[in-house]
Structure 1
Amino acid sequence: MSLRHAILTLLATEPGSGYDIVQHFKQSLGYFWNAKHQQVYLELRRLSEEGWLDCQVEAQSDKPDRKVYTLTDSGMAELQRWLREPAAANKINDALLVKLYGGTLIEADNLRDELARHVDIHQQTLHSLREIEKLYLALDDAQKAQHRLPYLTLRRGILGEEAWLKWADEVAAEL
């Protein structure tokens, strides 16, 4: 997957500015796809140059003008082409797993501390995801139907965090 397709996916649901897209990454997509502020703005420019996005400038009196992006027909066609392609299986690069693998080379306290730090992070993430789930569950049936596929991505995140924390319990018992 590329950042461009994540941006196209967001803009297919609603027009937005670079700031709006960055906020989506922080609040929703960021749980499974990360992008830095500069990367988003650079990609928006590229997508516009390729004709996949239109940009309307909205004047603001107390701030710089706001650029609001929408998908063009060719942008939607590219997104649909990409959505039809098989997705590659996810591979992880996890420094904690490498440290655990080589853990006999350092003190056990170091591994326990590192694991505890990661447990805190995953517990916070799980809490955040469950708060988002509460918002979804409070929707009426029509709104739930409209958001059912994003909800399934949320469920994957919740189950993934729960599984990670269960695994961490096993590791802690061994350490």
Structure 2
Amino acid sequence: MSLKHAILTLLETEESSGYDLLKQFQSRLGYFWNASHQQIYAQLKSMHSEQLIDFHVEAQANKPDKKVYTLTQAGRDALSEWVQQPLKLGKVNDALLVKLYAGHLADKDQLLEEMTNYRDNHQRMLNTFLAIEEEYKNSSAKEKKNLALPYLTLRRGIIGEQACLDWADEVIDFLHS
């Protein structure tokens, strides 16, 4: 997947400024796809050159004008084509797993601290996902229908975080023995 496809996905649901897209990455896609401010703006410029998106300028009081981006038909077509293509499975690069693999060389207390931090981070993420899930469950039937597929991505996140917590507990128990 590329940043281009992530942006097309966000713009498919609502027109947005570059700043709005950054906020959407942080609050929505950021749980499974990250992009910096600079990457987003560079990609928007490139996508505009490719005629995948267009923009109109909105004046703002006491602020610079902002560009609000929308998908063009070419952008919709590109997104549709990408969605229909099979994906290659992503590879995992996880420094903690490498460190644990070589853990016989580390101090046991240091590994315990590392695993406790790992567990705490995943517990915070799970709590965040569960709060988002509660919002979804409290939404109207129409909203639930419109958000059904994004909800399933949230469920994947919840299940993944629960698995990380289970694994962390297993490692922590082992290190305590």
Q: Same fold (TM over 0.5)?
A: yes
- Structure 2 CA distance, aligned partners of 1:92 and 1:63? 42
Q: 1:6-59 deviations in whole A, cap 9, x for unaligned?
A: 000000011001111111111110011111111011101110011000011101
Distance in 2 of aligned mates of 1:131 and 1:67: 32
Query: Aligned to 1:112, what secondary structure does the other structure show?
Result: helix
Task: Check if 1:167 corresponds to 2:158.
Answer: no
* TM-score, scaled relative to structure 1: 0.98
CA RMSD of aligned residues (A): 0.7
> Counterpart of 1:29 in structure 2: which amino acid?
L
| Structure-2 separation of matches of 1:121 and 1:65 | 38
Letter in 1 for 2:169: D
- Partner of 1:57, secondary structure, is strand
Report SS of the residue matched to 1:64.
strand
TM-superposed deviation, 1:79? 0.5
The match for 1:123 is 123
- Where do 1:5-84 residues align within 5 Å? 5-84=5-84
How many aligned residue pairs are there?
175
| TM-score of the aligned structures, taking structure 2 as reference length | 0.97
Q: Write the deviation string for residues 84-114 of structure 1: whole angstroms up to 9, x where unpaired.
A: 1101112211111011001111111111111
Residues 68-92 of structure 1: per-residue CA shift (max 9 Å, x gap) = 0000000110001100110111221
Aligned to 1:2: 2
Q: Tell me the percent identity.
A: 52
Q: Runs ≥4 in structure 1, deviation > 6 angstroms? A: none
Secondary structure of the 2:90 match is coil
Which residue type is aligned with residue 122 of structure 1? H
Confirm or deny that 1:104 pairs with 2:83. no
Q: For residues 64 and 114 of structure 1, what CA distance do their matches in structure 2 show? A: 45
CA distance in 2, matches of 1:2, 1:29: 13
| Amino acid aligned to 1:3 | L
| 3-state SS, counterpart of residue 63 of structure 2 | coil
Determine the structure 2 residue equivalent to 1:158: 158
SS of 1:34 mapped into structure 2:
coil
Q: Secondary structure at the match of 1:59?
A: strand
Please tell me the residue identity of whatever aligns with 1:108.
K
| One-letter identity of the residue aligned with 1:152 | L
Mean Cα displacement is larger for which, 114-123 or 155-164? 114-123
- Work out the CA distance in 1 between the residues paired with 2:50 and 2:171: 48
SS for the counterpart of 1:174 is helix
